[in-house]
């Protein structure tokens, strides 16, 4: 058989489960897209076979022993460079956050819906023959993981009084910049879009667009780093907003909207109290919802009162929100989202909007 006629190898997936009775259905679904090897958490190999495309973890996230075994195995380099999908008992915020903390790159929830799961599997796990285990793929994964580590501290630990420092952010910024420079914005968005949800996903989208925009504009590296930090932390105040409001599928009431609109000030106050964060970061955190015509919040700034870094972040923040899938609507197309930016002529810096066009419309 020649190379041209040799059939493509199926995906090889590792299914780690401590509840085999519940995982039978999942294993059957996975078999339609790949060869599945099911093991207990005690049997997860230190070094998976070279042709394994990824691991699916189906455990009780409230069982401390299973969680610890999975954490110990997945922190190794062998698993850090491959997709890691976690199965949740439901879509509750706590379970989702715990999965990401354990190293998830994607999640699915019960009850299992075969067609939806297969679509996610095909997106999350590449075919064995085309799996990119190169430095490029690893660089992208490291960048996303570094960004996610900052967000985990921001959304989970900061509200509990545990510090988030500038050093935490600086430690991640080089990996983020390298990931987008050496892969692409499209790959960053695809990875983040498949692997993250809610506020985490939005911050990662905004960071990706901001970094790509900065690189497109030819900003100096120091300025790229400043923008990366600011974009990653721009929504830190949402850590102090009840998750049921952030995840609400329907329209917010006026009272609920007022609560959500407190997030810029709460984020600013938290970081200012922490100390050590540069003025431009605090500026973005507090003012990224301000508009040039004075109709924004919380301070109703206008025109020259709004700095360039805030103007840029506001544009990518709005655009990212429009192209993301939300609980209450499907995503807008990139062309429609960009047209909406253009329609906000009195509110956004239109010179920056037009400069953003190649980044926005070249990312899909």
- Say which range, 151-155, 262-266, 359-363, has the weakest mean pLDDT: 359-363
Q: Are residues 278 and 348 in the same domain?
A: yes
Q: Are residues 248 and 357 in the same domain?
A: yes
Q: Are residues 310 and 223 in the same domain?
A: yes
Q: What is the CATH number of the domain that holds 35?
A: 3.40.50.2300
- Tell me the pLDDT of the chain averaged across its residues: 84
Q: What is the CATH number of the domain that holds 324?
A: 1.10.3210.10
On whether residue 214 sits in a domain, the answer given is: yes
**Cα–Cα–Cα angle for 187, 146, 271, rounded to 5 degrees:** 120
Q: For 212-236, what is the mean pLDDT?
A: 90
Q: Are residues 141 and 126 in the same domain?
A: no
- Indicate the helix (H) or strand (E) that contains 38: strand 34-39
Q: Please say if the pLDDT value at position 187 is more than 80.
A: yes
Contact 81, 69 (CB under 8 A): no
On whether residue 100 sits in a domain, the answer given is: yes
Q: Please say if the pLDDT value at position 119 is more than 50.
A: yes
Contact 97, 156 (CB under 8 A): yes
Residue 97, CA atoms < 13 Å, CB-side half-sphere: 16
Q: Please say if the pLDDT value at position 331 is more than 70.
A: yes
- Which domain-ending residue is among 83, 99, 130? 130
State the total domains in the chain.
2
Residue 345 structure tokens: 């002529």
Question: How far apart, in whole angstroms, are the C-alpha atoms of residue 269 and residue 277?
Answer: 11
On whether residue 5 sits in a domain, the answer given is: no
Q: Are residues 190 and 310 in the same domain?
A: yes
Q: Are residues 109 and 168 in the same domain?
A: no
Q: Are residues 106 and 186 in the same domain?
A: no
On whether residue 3 sits in a domain, the answer given is: no
Within 248-307, residue ranges assigned H as helices are: 254-260, 263-274, 279-287
Q: Are residues 79 and 22 in the same domain?
A: yes
pLDDT one-digit tens code per residue, 125-134: 665 444 444 5
Q: Are residues 202 and 345 in the same domain?
A: yes
On whether residue 1 sits in a domain, the answer given is: no
Question: How far apart, in whole angstroms, are the C-alpha atoms of residue 233 and residue 56?
Answer: 30
- Which domain-ending residue is among 103, 130, 157? 130
Q: Are residues 237 and 346 in the same domain?
A: yes
Q: Are residues 38 and 158 in the same domain?
A: no
Segments forming the whole domain that contains residue 357: 135-361
- Which domain-ending residue is among 111, 130, 149? 130
Contact 155, 199 (CB under 8 A): yes
Give the list of residues 6+ apart from residue 57 with CB closer than 8 angstroms, or none.
16, 17, 70, 74, 84, 85, 86, 87, 102, 104
On whether residue 240 sits in a domain, the answer given is: yes
**What is the pLDDT at residue 330?**
77
Q: Are residues 162 and 219 in the same domain?
A: yes
pLDDT one-digit tens code per residue, 250-259: 788 899 999 9
On whether residue 116 sits in a domain, the answer given is: yes
On whether residue 226 sits in a domain, the answer given is: yes
Contact 296, 310 (CB under 8 A): no
Q: How confident is the model at residue 3 (pLDDT cuts 50, 70, 90)?
A: very low
């Amino acid at each position: 058989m020649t190379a041209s006629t040799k059939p493509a190898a199926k995906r090889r997936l590792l299914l780690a489960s401590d509840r085999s009775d519940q995982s039978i259905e999942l294993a059957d679904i996975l078999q339609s897209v790949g060869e599945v090897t099911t093991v207990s958490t005690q049997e997860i190999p230190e070094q998976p076979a070279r042709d394994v495309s990824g691991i699916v973890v189906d455990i009780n996230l409230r069982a401390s022993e299973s969680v610890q075994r999975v954490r110990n195995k997945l922190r190794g380099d062998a698993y850090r460079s491959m997709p890691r999908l976690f199965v949740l008992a439901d879509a509750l915020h706590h379970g989702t956050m715990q999965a990401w903390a354990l190293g998830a790159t994607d999640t699915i929830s019960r009850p299992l819906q075969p067609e939806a799961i297969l679509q996610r599997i095909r997106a999350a796990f590449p075919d064995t023959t085309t799996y990119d285990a190169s430095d490029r793929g690893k660089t992208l994964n490291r960048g996303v993981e570094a960004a996610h580590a900052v967000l985990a501290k921001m959304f989970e630990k900061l509200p509990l009084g545990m510090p988030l420092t500038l050093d935490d952010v600086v430690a991640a910024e080089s990996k983020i910049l390298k990931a987008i420079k050496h892969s692409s914005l499209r790959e960053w968005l695809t990875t983040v879009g498949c692997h993250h949800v809610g506020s985490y996903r939005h911050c990662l989208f905004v960071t990706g667009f901001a970094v790509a925009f900065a690189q497109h504009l030819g900003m100096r590296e120091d300025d790229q780093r400043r923008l990366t930090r600011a974009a990653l932390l721009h929504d830190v105040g949402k850590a102090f907003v009840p998750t049921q409001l952030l995840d609400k599928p329907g329209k917010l009431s006026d009272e609920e909207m007022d609560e959500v609109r407190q997030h810029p000030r709460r984020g600013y106050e938290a970081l200012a109290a922490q100390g050590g964060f540069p003025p431009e970061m605090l500026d973005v955190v507090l003012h990224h919802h301000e508009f040039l015509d004075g109709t924004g919040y919380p301070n109703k700034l206008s025109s020259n009162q709004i700095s360039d870094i805030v103007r840029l972040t506001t544009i990518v923040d709005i655009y990212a929100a429009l192209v993301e899938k939300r609980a209450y609507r499907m995503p807008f197309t990139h062309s429609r989202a960009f047209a909406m930016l253009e329609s906000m002529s009195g509110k956004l810096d239109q010179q920056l909007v037009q400069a953003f066009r190649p980044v926005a419309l070249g990312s899909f």
